[in-house]
A and B are shown apart, each in its own frame.
Chain A
Amino acid sequence: MTAYDEQRLAQLIKALPPAPQAWVEAAQELPLARGRLDDIVARAEADLAFRDALIANLEEALRLEGYEPETIPLDELRRRLED
């Protein structure tokens, strides 16, 4: 018996199962989410009516402009709109 016989290797393979695919995909989309966020903030800075609409009802205003709220880090967007 050695430290890394086949049985031990099998145990170690098993000890690192894949993370749920949806979690991985969400993390992989971070650059896109950041890009969308920057785009929205830039528009809000240039268009006060859009900014006011976002502050009044963030998710609704985003939908009206064609954004999918679930693909945007809303907490961060709220924070940046308040800055």
Chain B
Amino acid sequence: MRSPLTVHWTAQPAAIFPPSEHSGFILSGVQLASLPDAQLVARCRVGDEDAWRELVARFSRYVYAISSQAYRLGPEDAEEVFQEVFARTYQHLDKLRDDEAIRPWIGQLTRRLCIDHLRSSSREEIVDPESLPGGTDEAMATIDESFAVHEAMAELSENCREILDRFFARDESYQTIGAALEIPSGTIASRISRCLARLREIFEGRNPGAGASS
């Protein structure tokens, strides 16, 4: 695993994080996590370092999934892209035209950097991004769907959210989850079932067309 030294500071430093007296009220991590993207970006722009941490946490899975799943970069290349994406986001946040569009902006930046990585390596003859099985557009559509589901998970109870994330996204065993959350491992399966049912209600409520037959 590479150190933060692999971050490439390719653009002129922009003074987007000057010490500011206009950062507004201090928010807790939980409050920051519930801020809409546009408000989070606005807080980052005025130098709120906690907001920046939240922004990285919010989009880290998205960036990681694009590089490692849609473009199938190896761990080293994926890490370089990951750090480069956030370095450029940090540097160019003041140039973002629409704060609400931060996710598609980060997504597009990640895709461009992945393609640059593939082209600059000697592997372009082996891996053409557009010829990957299923295609990158299909993979991106799945990643965007996944992101929407993870956003909906924010409306679950903390316990449900933890169980679903640990079991499905982190691939943890019933035993590990039970130990971490201090609940009997024998009840995990039924909790997963209940939590998924609740998530379905929430997701279909947020996306009225989502319940339509496929």
Contact = CB atoms under 8 A, between A and B. Distances in A.
Interface in B46-81: 47, 49, 52-53, 56-57, 60-65, 69, 79
A47 interface: no
Interface in A52-83: 69-71, 73-76, 79-80
A22 B49 CA distance: 18
Of the four ranges (under 10, 10 to 19, 20 to 34, 35 or more), the interface on chain A belongs to: 35 or more
Nearest to B15: A38
B143 A19 contact: no
B60 A19 contact: yes
> Does more than half of chain B's interface fall in helix, strand or loop, or is it mixed?
helix
A31 to B, nearest CB: 5
A59 B62 CA distance: 34
A9 B5 contact: no
B146 A16 contact: yes
Interface string A1-36: 111111001101111111110111011111111100
B20 to A, nearest CB: 12
B52 A31 contact: yes
B193 A28 contact: no
Contact of B9 (A10, A19, A73): A73
Contacts, number: 141
A19 B64 contact: yes
Nearest to A32: B49
Of the four ranges (under 10, 10 to 19, 20 to 34, 35 or more), the interface on chain B belongs to: 35 or more
B97 interface: no
B13 A13 contact: no
Contacts of A5: 200
Given A12-B145, A73-B7, A6 B197 contact: yes
Nearest to A77: B9
In the complex, which of the residues A4, A15, A16 has the most CB atoms of chain B within 10 Å of its own CB atom?
A16
B86 A2 contact: no
B210 A3 contact: yes
Given A3-B212, A4-B203, A27-B86, A16 B61 contact: yes
Interface in B187-202: 193, 196-197, 199-200
Interface of A: 1-6, 9-10, 12-20, 22-24, 26-34, 37-38, 69-71, 73-76, 79-80
Query: Which 10 residue pairs spanning A and B have beta carbons closest together?
Result: A76-B9, A19-B64, A27-B86, A13-B168, A26-B4, A6-B196, A16-B146, A15-B146, A12-B149, A3-B214
14 contacts: A4-B207, A6-B196, A9-B200, A13-B149, A15-B142, A16-B150, A19-B64, A28-B56, A28-B57, A30-B7, A34-B17, A70-B3, A74-B5, A76-B13
